[in-house]
Each structure stands twice: as C-alpha cells, then as structure tokens.
Amino acid sequence: MKTRLILPFFAACAALAQPPQEVKRIDEPFKVGIAGYTFHKFKLPETLAMMKRTDVHYLCIKDFHLPFKSTDEEIAAFKKTCADSGVTGYALGPIYSTTREEIDRDFAFAKRVGVNLIVGVPVTVDANKKRHPSPELLKYVGTKVKETDIRYAVHNHGPDGIPYATADENMGYIKDLDSRIGLCLDIGHNARANEDPFEALEKYKDRVYDIHWKNITEFSKKGHGIEVSRGKLDYAQFVKTLRKINYTGVCSLEYEKDMDDPLPGIAESVGYFRGVMDTLR
C-alpha cells in the first residue's frame, strides 16, 4: 500500500523538476539612467560606485560634478573616470540660465563636453529674487540650437513655484520654436501638478528628449518623492506608453528621498522599474 502511494509521488516530482526557464527580456529602445541631482551630496567617485552597484550606465551631468570652469584636461579626466566605471554622461543639467551670456556658456560647455543635449531652465529674476519663465531667452535658445545642432530640453518642476510647472505649460512656450527645443518630462512633478504625465508623454512624444522618473506619495503639491515601488504612479502604464511611442531617449531616475543615503532607494527603484519591464515583456 505505501509503495503504491510513494511511487506516483516521486513520478509526479520528477515530472515537475524541469530546467529553469530563462527570462525573455525585450531589447528596449530607451536607456535607464540617473539624474545627477540624485547625487548632489556625493563626489563623483561615490556617485559612480553607486551607479555601478545598480548596473546603471547613463548620467545626466550636474555642474557640481563637472563645473563650467573645467579645463579641457579636466573634462577629459571626468569622461575617462566615468568610462572606467562603464558610465556615459549623456546630457548636462538641469541648468538655470538668466542671460544670453549664460545660454552661450551652456552651449559652449556642452560642445566641449561632447554631449548633444542640455536640460535647461531659462529664467528671469525679479527684484524679489523670484524666478519666472523667459520666453525671450527661449527664443535665443532657438538661435543656439540652429547654430550648434545641440538639443535643449526644458525641465518641468510642478506646483512649487519654480518656473515651468508642467509639460502643457512648457509646450505653450516652445511649440512654435525650433523643434530641437523640447521637453525634459519629470513625470513625478507633472503628476503633483495634477497633469497626467503619461498623457503628456504620448501627446508630446516628438518633443520629449529626456525623462526624469520618480514616484510620489500623492497627486498634489503635498506629494513628495518615495521609492518607485511604493508610490501612486502606475509604472505599468509608464512602460506601456514608452513602448507605444517608441521612446529612444534616456529615462533617468531622479531620486529625492534619503539623499544622505540614497543607494537603497535607488536600488529598489531601478529594480522595480526593470521588474515591470520584464513582467510586461
């Protein structure tokens, strides 16, 4: 009696003991990166070490890692240090600029660094030191993109009183300008301003040149950054939209929580994003 029960049990186990199946990943047209502001409390070697541990290879460069005053030799050393860690600096910014001379500086620096994208925030500053969007500087940016063929992406910052709140607002400023002026779509800030970032991504797909991704605790000004796996934004919808529009730029995580110790949150967020991509393959 016991033998008759045991033998079918072992036969069933043998049938179930199949070799593991390899994950069939999709070769995404876009790249996963990190926005440099994530690391504003860290020097470049620490930044690159965290990127290496999370297997991320694209960095949006901030000036605290590569100052505007850098010499050609310092730029070359920066690029070699990044390359030695498997990291490519693909863009500069976000850069706040208040004059034509600063816009000239931004484009000249991008050319020296060898990047084809500036994430910018061109503003005027009033007597109370409050910053406002500058249509006039954006028109001047139009002359620079024609002169250099370097693209310029205006970053949105949501409902916090920082210029250029949403993708819709920003497109209002640039829709009639040279098409090389586009958007750096920050999906978290867009959602905090009660504008659907995924609708904006689809609507303005031809002018979205960079994406800063994050998650938030709620869709309001009170919302703040949180690990991507724990927030309100639907990352399945995000991935589906990226694929639908065949986005080919970089998606850079801008992680603004636990900035003294961001690595655990970066790892969780990048892992979750990649997990959603794998699940929806």
Average pLDDT, stretch 46-54?
98
Res 7 pLDDT > 60:
no
Is the model's pTM score more than 0.85?
Answer: yes
Q: What is the pLDDT of residues 162-172, one digit of tens each?
A: 999 999 999 99
Res 14 pLDDT > 70:
no
Please state, in angstroms and rounded to a whole number, the distance separating the CA atoms of residues 258 and 35: 15
Return the domain boundaries, the chain. 30-279
Transcribe 66-116 into DSSP letters: S-TT--HHHHHHHHHHHHHTT-EEEEEEEEEE-SHHHHHHHHHHHHHHT-S
Give ∠ CA 31-34-36 in degrees, rounded to 5.
140
Please state, in angstroms and rounded to a whole number, the distance separating the CA atoms of residues 232 and 215: 7
Can you name the CATH fold of 30-279?
TIM Barrel (3.20.20)
Q: What is the pLDDT of residues 216-274, one digit of tens each?
A: 999 999 999 999 999 999 999 999 999 999 999 999 999 999 999 999 999 999 999 99
Q: Note the pLDDT of residue 257.
A: 96
Q: Which residues, in sequence order, are CB contacts of 270 under 8 Å at separation 6+? A: 32, 54, 55, 56, 253
89, burial (CB in 10 Å: exposed 0-12, middle 13-18, buried 19+): buried
How many angstroms from the chain centroid is the CA of residue 233? 15
Q: What is the pLDDT of residues 17-28, one digit of tens each?
A: 678 877 777 789
Please state, in angstroms and rounded to a whole number, the distance separating the CA atoms of residues 34 and 82: 13
Please count the other Cβ atoms lying within 10 Å of the Cβ belonging to residue 105.
Answer: 14
Start-to-end Cα distance in the chain? 48
Contact 109, 92 (CB under 8 A): yes
Contact 146, 140 (CB under 8 A): no
